[in-house]
Amino acid sequence: MRYRSTRDATTFVPISQAIAAGLAPDGGLYVPESLPTIDPAAFDPHGRLADTAATLLAPFFAGDALADALPAICAEAFTFDAPLRALPAHPHSLLLELFHGPTSAFKDFGARFLAACLRRMPRQDQRPLTILVATSGDTGAAVAAAFHRQPGLRVVILYPDGRVSPRQAHQLGCFGDNVQALRVAGRFDDCQRMVKAALNDEALQADVPLSSANSISLGRLLPQMSYYAHAALGWWREHGTPLNFIVPTGNLGNAMACLWVRAMGLPVGEVELACNANATLPDYFAGADYAPREAVATIANAMDVGAPSNFERLRWTFPDEARLRQLLHARSVDDATIRQTIGRHAREHDEVVCPHTATAMHRLDQLRSAGNRLPWAVVATAHPAKFDSVVEPLIDRPVTLPAVLATMLGRSASAQVLAAEEQALRAWLLR
Ligand SMILES: *Cc1c(COP(=O)(O)O)cnc(C)c1O
């Protein structure tokens, strides 16, 4: 399988190169030459998530230097499960729990797979490679955990000071060793702009070799397909019907993975995007022109995205706009509704969800009220304990901490202050 930029159909690179680069040189996003299809019978019905991943991703790595290592990469990345759990409220309502990894959010799957790929790639340069990450919360911690103490690699995280949850901030600052957290006096967009400027700065790169780990990397997108395939295949074997998904959405990376699984011919039914007050996608799917805009801050902060970075990939996947609008729906949920949803599900069903997951839970409530009886899986993108400052006042009790999170919160944390200026990051990296 060969890969090209969404903006150039004439130049092709192998998957290793696309993963190492992240973004294509022309500013486009890497996509496969064509999406492969796969027979559900190709999967081992008794396989674990790592086995499903290795079978699913094999066609994407065919012919590449990493192809032989793919099963080992999957075994290393997928060391925890993504359980599909029935919700008590309705027999065909399910929760796909993606928060059982080391940093309690779904970003762990992609970050760990990317790290497992990068550490197998030969580098000519003997100097350490610095991985720059701009994060609105969960990505930075997942990348830090995945690359912590990896020889030859260093992680520098930029996050907007005061705009991530206190526990997210603690997670970002608690690794140490080869991981450094910088709290930027600005917004997420500032962090992203500073990282982009550094990556495009050739003079800086000559002194400090840099790479990135943002959500447009195929090394993060492809592994995210695995849990959708695993859940849908399991459901289909047992019930003989496709499984439908509601995906909390920001940059569209998680939902894109779900749509690619469906496009490969696996038993995924309808896909709904649940967004917070950032309504770029809901407006587009309601018929407006695509209009990226500045993000607004919400209590589902990891979805505070005004210009979803995977939109170009979505358009490549579905070139016919009218058809795309038929195939996919997106809805915006405001903070007040997120709060109500968290409170109500805790009271009525003893089910506590994070603010991101609550956007999808609300959509499920709407579908059920309208009489929809399809099997729906709400995608739970993070553990509610990461957002205790939002969740606990709504449910009047503490959220039990997952063991990994308790361990991290027990370590000391520190982050350096940085001005929201490109020059400040440059100087910091060269110091
Ligand atoms: C990143 C994130 C999202 C949004 O995922 P995208 O791939 O950017 O659409 C949703 N929920 C949580 C908890 C996240 O960390």
Q: Using the structure block, give the residue that is written with the tokens 């997670």.
A: 171
Tokens of 151: 């020889």
- Beta-carbon contacts of 353 under 8 Å, excluding residues fewer than 6 positions away, are 95, 341, 342, 345, 361, 380, 384
Mutate to test the pocket of ligand 1, among 95, 303, 386 (most ligand atoms within 8 A of CB): 303
3-state DSSP helix/strand/coil % of the chain, to nearest 5: 45, 20, 35
- The whole-number pLDDT of residue 295 equals 87
Does the beta carbon of 426 lie inside 6 Å of ligand 1?
no
Tokens of 246: 């509601």
Could you tell me the distance, in angstroms and rounded to a whole number, from the CA of residue 32 to the centre of ligand 1? 23
Residue 230 pLDDT grade (very low, low, confident, very high; cuts 50, 70, 90) = very high
Burial label, 307 (beta-carbon count in 10 A; 0-12, 13-18, 19+): middle
Identify which has the larger pLDDT, 128 or 215. Answer: 128
**203 pLDDT more than 90:** yes
Pick the residue whose CA is nearest to atom 8 on ligand 1: 251
Could you tell me the distance, in angstroms and rounded to a whole number, from the CA of residue 248 to the centre of ligand 1? 7
Identify which has the larger pLDDT, 199 or 247. Answer: 247
Could you tell me the distance, in angstroms and rounded to a whole number, from the CA of residue 203 to the centre of ligand 1? 33
A 10 A CB-CB count for 204 gives 18
Mutate to test the pocket of ligand 1, among 356, 357, 361, 388 (most ligand atoms within 8 A of CB): 356
Residue 211 pLDDT grade (very low, low, confident, very high; cuts 50, 70, 90) = confident
**268 pLDDT more than 90:** yes
Are the CB atoms for 266 and 130 separated by under 8 Å? no
| pLDDT tens column, 365-407 | 999 999 999 999 999 999 999 999 999 999 999 999 999 999 9
Does the beta carbon of 308 lie inside 6 Å of ligand 1?
no
Residue 126 pLDDT grade (very low, low, confident, very high; cuts 50, 70, 90) = confident
Could you tell me the distance, in angstroms and rounded to a whole number, from the CA of residue 3 to the centre of ligand 1? 25
**215 pLDDT more than 80:** no
Strand ranges, E, within 27-83: 30-32
Pick the residue whose CA is nearest to atom 2 on ligand 1: 302
Residue 188 pLDDT grade (very low, low, confident, very high; cuts 50, 70, 90) = confident
Q: What SS3 class is residue 309? A: coil
Atom of ligand 1 nearest to the CA of 99: 13
Does the beta carbon of 248 lie inside 6 Å of ligand 1?
yes
Does the beta carbon of 257 lie inside 6 Å of ligand 1?
no
pTM of the model as a whole: 0.95
Could you tell me the distance, in angstroms and rounded to a whole number, from the CA of residue 91 to the centre of ligand 1? 27
Q: What SS3 class is residue 374? A: coil
- The whole-number pLDDT of residue 124 equals 82
Could you tell me the distance, in angstroms and rounded to a whole number, from the CA of residue 103 to the centre of ligand 1? 13
**239 pLDDT more than 80:** yes
Does the beta carbon of 251 lie inside 6 Å of ligand 1?
yes
Does the beta carbon of 4 lie inside 6 Å of ligand 1?
no
Does the beta carbon of 105 lie inside 6 Å of ligand 1?
yes
Could you tell me the distance, in angstroms and rounded to a whole number, from the CA of residue 378 to the centre of ligand 1? 13
* Mean confidence (pLDDT) of the chain: 94
Across 161-181, average pLDDT: 93
Closest CA to 93 of 105, 85, 82, 101: 85
Mutate to test the pocket of ligand 1, among 254, 299, 378 (most ligand atoms within 8 A of CB): 254
Return the sign of the alpha-carbon dihedral for residues 49, 50, 52, 56. positive
Could you tell me the distance, in angstroms and rounded to a whole number, from the CA of residue 302 to the centre of ligand 1? 5
Atom of ligand 1 nearest to the CA of 252: 9
CATH number of 80-106+219-402: 3.40.50.1100
CA distance 270 to 369: 18
- The whole-number pLDDT of residue 92 equals 94
The residue extents of the domains of the chain are 80-106+219-402
Residue type, 24: A
Burial label, 283 (beta-carbon count in 10 A; 0-12, 13-18, 19+): middle
Closest CA to 222 of 13, 419, 429, 32: 32
Could you tell me the distance, in angstroms and rounded to a whole number, from the CA of residue 284 to the centre of ligand 1? 19
